[in-house]
Amino acid sequence: MPKIRGILPPVLTLVDDDERIDEGALVKLLHSLYDAGVHGLYFLGSAGEFVSLRNCERRRAIEIAVREMKGRLPIIVGTMDTSTMRTIDNARMAEDLGADAIAVTAPTYYTHNRVEVLRHFELVTRSVSIPVYIYNIPQTTKVMLDVESICKISTFDNVAGIKDSSGKWSHVLELLHAFDGNNDFSILVGDESLAGIAILMGADGAVMAIANIAPRLVVQYYEAAASQEVDKLKALHAKLSSLARIYECGAPISCLKVALSMLGIGSGKACEPMAPVSEEGRRKIAEILSELQLLPSKN
């Protein structure tokens, strides 16, 4: 698979009241993202509520994505879990179902030392033949992958890049320096506030949840950063920062899903026990979408 560059939305997993995949809504979202020009899709990530979904619904989400995209966009599937063998099972399932690549974190729940984390990545990367993306998200794994460890993991079988959601600008800069000139390793930024400047400085792309709501705007943002159009990037950053106020209206994933429902996709349902957005929160989300002229016309 060619090196991944650009915007990969972490696709929201749209569900019904019983938390089964809402296939019609998910298909509509996938085609909306594709039509907007995104460069790939990231399934079963944090915004995709992978930790909350039944295993059968995880499987169904992958099946729908592969069926609908028909190879037109690369699909990265999150395979994160609490142990190495559980992660390997998830990874093999994703490969068997047609995913183009997988994402792997350190095991969750227990806190692991560096030796254990490196062994985990080595065993998982050996278990599949498709590209593997390191996923650094210390907020949930309780493990901060330092650049030395990332460089070591990058030498393992099939490792193709990293999604860094550490939120630490100094860490992103270290990564960019360590992999400068490496044409086989993708650096994707998972922190939306750092995405533009990171791409401007040489990152290959970003995984931005807000792209579920405004994919064309986010693609333009990437293009401005990648082409070093600083003034345009600043203007687009201001718009995205304004849109990001929706995260302040309740639980962030619930807010994203409610915003998407206001755009005509899905019911706004998040997996339990995620709190639903209050009426006041919904009103504020509608105001933000209206200010940015994202709401569909009533005519």
- DSSP-assigned states of every residue in 21-67: B-HHHHHHHHHHHHHTT-S-EEESSTTTTTTTS-HHHHHHHHHHHHH
Please report, for the chain, the start and end positions of each structural domain, with discontinuous segments joined by +. 6-227
**pLDDT digit string, tens, across residues 49-101:** 999 999 999 999 999 999 999 999 999 999 999 999 999 999 999 999 999 99
Q: What is the pLDDT of residues 117-174, one digit of tens each?
A: 999 999 999 999 999 999 999 999 999 999 999 999 999 999 999 999 999 999 999 9
Rama region for 41: left / alpha / beta (φ>0; ψ in -120 to 50; rest): beta
The amino acid that residue 114 corresponds to is: R
pLDDT of res. 297:
77
Please tell me the pTM assigned to this model.
Answer: 0.96
Task: Please tell me the distance from the alpha carbon of residue 172 to that of residue 193, in angstroms, as a whole number.
Answer: 12
pLDDT at 299 (0 to 100): 58
Chain segment 211-265, per-residue pLDDT in tens: 999 999 999 999 999 999 999 999 999 999 999 999 999 999 999 999 999 999 9
Model confidence at 208, pLDDT cuts 50, 70, 90, reads very high
Q: What is the token pair recorded at 199?
A: 């791409």
Architecture of the domain defined by 6-227:
Alpha-Beta Barrel (3.20)
Predicted confidence band of residue 1 (pLDDT cuts 50, 70, 90): confident
Residue 138's CB: how many other CB atoms inside 10 A? 16
